[in-house]
Structures are given as C-alpha cells and as structure tokens.
Amino acid sequence: METNVTIKKLSNRFPGAIIETHSHRGDDTAVVKKESILEICTFLRDDEALLYNFMMDLTVVDYLGREPRFEVVYHLFSLRHNRRVRIKARVSEADAIIDSIVPVWVGANWFEREAFDMYGITFKGHPEMRRILLYEGFEGHPLRKDYPIKKRQPLIGPIN
C-alpha cells in the first residue's frame, strides 16, 4: 500500500525503536522510542524515498494518569512525495527530557520552546531553552492537565 511506505521503511530500518504504529483515518502514525528520535528524524528527512523536508508541527499531549505521561507529537510533510506522517515519542514526567530536533530542522526551534513553556518538556541540545509565550517568573506549565485554568500569576496588579 502506498500510504504505508513510511511506516514500512521505518520498521525495517529501526525494528527495535518502533513501539507501535497505526493509520487511524489515514494518518500514518508511528510511536517511537524517545532515545532514537534524532536518528529517526534524520533518516526521515534524508532518505530518498521519504524526504520529509517539512517539520510542520510539534506539540505535546498530556495523558495525565498514564505512564509515560507525555507524548511529543511531530507532524512531518514531504513536499516531493506529498505525504504526511506523524511521529510520537513518549516521555515520562520524572524524566521529561528528549533530544532536540533543531539540528534536523531549524524551524523546530520555536516549537520546542513552546512545548517547554506549555508542558515543561526539556529538549536536550536546544540552543535557547526558555519560555516563549509566557514570561519569566511564571510558575508551572499551563497546558498540563493539572494546571487549574484560572490560576493567574499577574506581573502587575492593583494596590490593595
């Protein structure tokens, strides 16, 4: 099947690093071990049959109560083959570190900073790991499921 090319190639090349795959609603997805994320991304970008030259999106999903708790989700797109793939890597709360993919796609820089800001995942090897949308001094990571939606941390407020 044409649509499964990526997943097939990935599982042939990295048999030990693919945890599971699915193609729900036609979106090819591979869950990979977080240790090999950099290697896999480089492969996906450079392999002639894949050529995923766009890092479209990077985000994190917080599955509170599940272990490992976080899933870092990458959406890649190949202009040449007009194909998309979703790569996911699971990261636990205690060890919320994953390799940065900035060496592969420079565009990932801000996306990773945002993921750090919102979910507190640290990207190892990132050139500038600090908050991007919120401000220094903000405590906690608002998009985690256990952050109360109305917990405010104003920089400035009324005298009382």
Partner 1 sequence: MSDLMKDLHTEHMVINMGPSHPVTHGTVKFLVTLDGENIVDMKVDIGYLHRGFEKMCESGTWQQVIPYTDRLNYVSPLINNVGYALAVEKLIGIEVPERCQYLRVIACELSRIADHLTNVAAGGLELGAFTAFLYFVEARELVWDLIEMLCGARVTVNFVRIGGLKNDLPQGFQDKTRAVFKECRRLWNDVDKLLTKNRIFIDRVRNVGDISAEEAIAYGFTGPCLRACGIPYDVRKAQPYLVYDRMDFEVPIGETGDNFDKYLVRMEEIQQSMKIVEQALSQLPDGPINLDLPQYRMQPKEDIYHRIDSLIFHFKTVIDGIKPPPGEVYFAVEGANGELGFYLVSDGSGKPYKCRVRPPCFPLTAAMPRLMKGRLIADIVPTFDMINMIGGECDR
Partner 2 sequence: MGVTFGKESASRRIVPGGTVSDGPERLLDGSAILTRLQAAVNWGRKYSFFLYPFVTACCGMEFMSVAGPKYDLDRFGAALPRFSPRQADLLMVVGTISHKQAPILVKVYNQMTEPKWVFAFGVCAVSGGFYNNYSVVQGIDTLIPVDVYVPGCPPRPEMVLDGLLKLQEKVAKERWSDWPRGAAPVTPMLKKQE
Give me the residues that bind partner 1 (CB under 8 A), please.
24-25, 27, 29, 53-57, 59, 61-62, 73, 75, 77, 79, 82, 84, 86, 105-111, 114, 118, 131-135, 142-143, 147, 149
Of 36-44, 55-63, 69-77, 147-155, which part binds partner 2 (CB under 8 A)? 147-155
Could you tell me the CA-to-CA distances from 19 to 5, 9, 22, 45 in Å, in that order?
A: 17, 14, 11, 20
Cα 90 from Cα 93, distance rounded (Å): 10
What tokens were used for 140? 């906690």
CB of 143: closest distance to partner 2 in angstroms? Answer: 10
Min dist CB 84 to partner 2, Å, is 30
Q: How many other β-carbons are positioned within 10 Å of the β-carbon of residue 46?
A: 12
Tokens describing residue 70 = 């976080």
d(CA 17, CA 27): 20
Q: Is 1 in the site for partner 2 (CB under 8 A)?
A: no
Q: Closest approach of Cβ 63 to partner 2, in Å?
A: 21
Question: Where along the sequence are the contacts to partner 2 (CB under 8 A)?
Answer: 134-138, 142, 147-159
